[in-house]
Amino acid sequence: MAKHHSALGLAPRSTAFATVVGGGIDIADQRPVDPVTLVRPHAAARAARFFVEKFPGRPMYAVKANPSPDLLQVLWDNGITHYDTASIAEVRLVKATLPEATCCFMHPVKSEEAIAEAYFTHGVRTFSLDSLEELDKIVRATQGATDLTLCVRLRVSSEFAKLSLGSKFGVGQAEAKELLMATRQVADALGICFHVGSQTMSPDAYANAMERVRAAIVDAAVTVDVIDVGGGFPSAYPGMTPPPLERFFETIHRAFESLPISYSAELWAEPGRSLCAEYSSVVVRVERRRGSELYINDGAYGTLFDAAHIGWKYPVQLLREPESDARDMDFSFWGPTCDDLDYMKGPFPLPADTNTGDYFEIGMLGAYGAAMRTAFNGFGSGETVVASDEPMLSVYRDVAPDEQRSTNVVKL
Ligand SMILES: *Cc1c(COP(=O)(O)O)cnc(C)c1O
């Protein structure tokens, strides 16, 4: 995924938007020209509390999913004290926003300058790696520090994930032994981490990965102090209703308890998507209709990167009063730029009479949506307001996601 984290260049803001609205319909009433981002701090707070209370270890937030300082503050206020950062800019952002937070630098390929600044300027002590070369880099950049927690990233399968993270990082089974033994020599605490891929739909993914962890520990015969199961916890999207998160937690806990590790070993996770997917949505305007294609004012270079490039489906809801009583039909979207790639195939179900001048809300854009917005072609501006209503879908409510809404939203 592209990394257009415009928020990283900004000074941290305090968490307080001027405008608070009930929901998207209030925005549509104001007929804004630019897309409007709705943020729901209450939804992010609920997700954070869920992980803090129910995950059987320490959840750290994977900042790349959404680096908004306002969101970081909400997560902190609700018990998330540790942050998985993957660039020095993310480390700076977290430390500037939350000076007391702990950053863990979990990108397995870093520059020495980044490692040194993280260690000496920002107090970072936890780093991940997947090669002897990176281990050397960490030792050099920290001038042989003896207080490091070093997490060796294992390559594991992405077979249960909607988005693979299996090819780029992770040491293979054959080389894991040598790397674990060498890292053990250097580390104050030795960890093993992995990532099963994003939006993982089955707890089996974690069970299988933990078997790889077991094999690696037995093979290398090292004492392991931290097991970090990474991210990948799912959110709800049209056509993707995951099992309850508790089932993921139970599976992970059971596997962790049976590993050959010391009694005092810690369990960590790095949820990104699942902590912030429900945090934001966007209200867009239809600028033109051509058959079943809607030209809208946000797109692939805005918050809809994943919708364009990997065909991700988001829930949509027409914002019109009185409500349309037309039947839904399937639409695709063109974004505002002049680029043919700025196309979101969908299909996105909206009332068949949806037309130029209508507004609709696209939900579940808090993870890898809001974070991807660019200024390409002069677009990308727009207000952010706080909404007090429920997100269009949720994995944190008692009812199953597909029972949550009855009207013209999505057919899951
Ligand atoms: C992206 C990433 C995460 C977050 O993944 P989600 O699928 O959003 O939970 C966690 N850890 C690492 C190392 C990552 O690269």
**Per-domain residue ranges for the chain?**
21-39+279-387, 56-270
On the question of pLDDT at 14 being above 70, the answer is: no
Give the DSSP per-residue string, 228-248. Answer: E--S-----BTTB-PPPHHHH
Work out which ligand 1 atom sits closest to the CA atom of 198: 7
Q: How far apart are the CA of 71 and the centre of ligand 1, in A? A: 16
Residue in 103, 151, 276, 338 annotated catalytic:
338
Pocket perturbation via mutation, ligand 1, pick of 109, 168, 198 by most ligand atoms within 8 A of CB: 198
Residues 6+ apart with CB under 8 A from 61: 48, 72, 75, 80, 82, 83, 84, 270, 271, 272, 275, 276
Q: How far apart are the CA of 223 and the centre of ligand 1, in A? A: 25
Q: How far apart are the CA of 64 and the centre of ligand 1, in A? A: 8
Q: Which CATH superfamily is domain 56-270 in?
A: Alanine racemase (3.20.20.10)
* Known active-site residue 338: yes
Q: 233 CB less than 6 Å from ligand 1?
A: yes
On the question of pLDDT at 335 being above 90, the answer is: yes
On the question of pLDDT at 4 being above 50, the answer is: no
Pocket perturbation via mutation, ligand 1, pick of 155, 270, 276, 279 by most ligand atoms within 8 A of CB: 270
Radius of gyration of the chain (CA): 22
Q: Return the structure tokens found at 238.
A: 């049209």
Asked if 376 contacts 337 with a C-beta cutoff of 8 angstroms, the reply is yes
pTM above the 0.85 mark?
yes
Q: How far apart are the CA of 247 and the centre of ligand 1, in A? A: 19
Q: 105-141: string of b/e by CB count within 10 Å (b at 16+)? A: bbbbebeeebbbbbbeebebbbbbbbbeebbebbbeb
CA distances from 161 to 62, 211, 242, 346, 361 (A): 17, 17, 11, 20, 26
What's the pLDDT score for residue 17?
64
- Give alpha helix (H) positions in 126-221: 132-141, 173-186, 204-220
pLDDT digits (tens, 9 = 90+) for 353-391: 999 999 999 999 999 998 899 999 989 888 999 999 999
Q: Phi, psi (5° rounding) for residue 95?
A: -65, -35
Q: 59 CB less than 6 Å from ligand 1?
A: no
- Give alpha helix (H) positions in 21-155: 24-29, 41-54, 69-77, 88-97, 112-116, 122, 132-141
Work out which ligand 1 atom sits closest to the CA atom of 165: 15
Looking at CATH, the fold of the domain delimited by 21-39+279-387 is given as: Lyase, Ornithine Decarboxylase; Chain A, domain 1 (2.40.37)
Instruction: Give the CA-trace dihedral at 68, 72, 74, 75, to 10 degrees.
Output: 130
pLDDT digits (tens, 9 = 90+) for 227-256: 999 999 999 999 999 999 999 999 999 999
What's the pLDDT score for residue 165?
79
pLDDT digits (tens, 9 = 90+) for 120-147: 999 999 999 999 999 999 999 999 999 9
